[in-house]
A and B are shown apart, each in its own frame.
Chain A
Amino acid sequence: MRHLLPVILLGSLFAIAPLFLSDYWISQLSIYLIYGLLALSLSLVWGYGGILCFGQAVFFGIGAYVMAVMTKGMILPGLTHTFIGLIAAVTASVLFAIALGYFLFAGKGISGPYLAIVTLAIAIVLERLMSNWYALGGYNGLLDIPPMNIGLFGFDFELWDSIPIFYTLLIVVFVIFLGLSILTRSSYGMLLTALKTHPERLAFFGFSVLQLRLSVFALSAGIAGFAGALFVTVDGFASPTLIGFTLSTEILIWVALGGKEMLMAAFLGAIATRFAESWLSEIFGDYWILALGLAFMASVVLLPKGLIATPLSALAKKLKIRL
Chain B
Amino acid sequence: MDFILPLVDALSYILILVLIALGLMIVFGMMGVINMAHGELFMIGAYVMVVCQNSGLPFLAGLIIAPLFVGLLGLIIESLLIRHIYLRPLDTILATWGLSIALKQLIVLWFGPESQSIASPVDSMVTLGTFSYPAYRLLVMGAAILLIGGTFWTFLKTDFGLQARAVIARPDTAATLGINTRHLYRWSFVIGTALAGLAGALIAPTISVDPQMGLGYLIPGFLSILVGGAGPLAGVLAGGAAVGGTNSLLTVWISPVAAQIAVFLLAILVIRMRPEGLLGGKK
Contacts of B267 in A (CB 8 A): 121
Most buried by A among B98, B222, B226: B98
The stretch that binds A, out of B47-55, B86-94, B114-122, B166-174, is B86-94
> Contacts A114-B226, A121-B267, A290-B106 hold; do A304 and B88 have CB atoms under 8 A apart?
yes
Q: Is the CB of A296 within 8 A of B257?
A: no
Asked if B182 lies at the interface with its beta carbon under 8 angstroms from chain A, I say no
- CB A78 to nearest CB in B, in angstroms, measures 34
- CB B166 to nearest CB in A, in angstroms, measures 22
Partner of B265, one of A125, A286, A292: A125
Q: Is the CB of A116 within 8 A of B98?
A: no
Contacts of A245 in B (CB 8 A): 215
The stretch that binds B, out of A3-11, A105-113, A151-159, A218-226, is A105-113
Asked if A87 lies at the interface with its beta carbon under 8 angstroms from chain B, I say no
Asked if A129 lies at the interface with its beta carbon under 8 angstroms from chain B, I say yes
Contacts of A104 in B (CB 8 A): 272
Closest B residue, CB atoms, query A104 = B272
Asked if A300 lies at the interface with its beta carbon under 8 angstroms from chain B, I say yes
Closest B residue, CB atoms, query A302 = B84
Contacts of B219 in A (CB 8 A): 117, 120-121, 124
Asked if A249 lies at the interface with its beta carbon under 8 angstroms from chain B, I say yes
- CB A80 to nearest CB in B, in angstroms, measures 31
Asked if A118 lies at the interface with its beta carbon under 8 angstroms from chain B, I say yes
Main secondary structure of the interface of B (DSSP, over half): helix
Give A301 to B85 CA distance when docked, in angstroms. Answer: 7
Residue-wise, chain B 255-270 has the 8 Å CB interface mask toward A (1 for contact) of: 0010011001101100
Contacts of A131 in B (CB 8 A): 257
Residue-wise, chain A 111-155 has the 8 Å CB interface mask toward B (1 for contact) of: 011101110111011001101100000000000000000000000
Q: Is the CB of A117 within 8 A of B34?
A: yes
Main secondary structure of the interface of A (DSSP, over half): helix
Contacts of A295 in B (CB 8 A): 98
Q: Is the CB of A297 within 8 A of B95?
A: yes
> Contacts A121-B223, A287-B109, A300-B85 hold; do A293 and B260 have CB atoms under 8 A apart?
no
> Contacts A289-B105, A304-B88 hold; do A117 and B97 have CB atoms under 8 A apart?
no
Most buried by A among B105, B215, B275: B105
Asked if A256 lies at the interface with its beta carbon under 8 angstroms from chain B, I say yes
Give A108 to B275 CA distance when docked, in angstroms. Answer: 9
- CB A170 to nearest CB in B, in angstroms, measures 30
Give A26 to B42 CA distance when docked, in angstroms. Answer: 43
Residues of B within 8 A of A (CB): 28, 32, 34, 81, 84-85, 88-91, 93-95, 97-106, 108-109, 215, 219, 222-223, 226, 257, 260-261, 264-265, 267-268, 271-272, 275
Residues of A within 8 A of B (CB): 52, 54, 103-104, 108, 110, 112-114, 116-118, 120-122, 124-125, 128-129, 131-132, 245, 249, 252-253, 256, 286-287, 289-290, 292-298, 300-301, 304
